[in-house]
Amino acid sequence: MRTRKDLCETKAETTRRIDTALSYLILKNASLAADCDQAPETMTLNEIADFVGADPMVIRKAEQSALAKIRKHFSDPELN
């Protein structure tokens, strides 16, 4: 797997690349699932990491951060 140093990317460029790849993956899977009237395909952490060109732990940290933001959002009493 290529690293950020191999690609000569800044941290911001790496984040943007991963975000773009994840957005594409989500849209692609949702579109295919809708076309086939099925649930979206599930992927392992390693499959996602390979697709976006990142270390699996980077993807895991992003997942944990996103889940924490969702939990915080829905636990806010002003939203309920």
Pair of tokens at residue 5: 């140093």
Q: What is the pTM of this model?
A: 0.71
pLDDT digits (tens, 9 = 90+) for 15-42: 899 999 999 999 999 998 888 888 888 8
Look at residues 45, 53, 48, 52 and name the one whose alpha carbon lies nearest to residue 2: 53
CA distance 67 to 69: 5
Tell me: pLDDT of 5 over 80: no
CA distance 79 to 55: 35
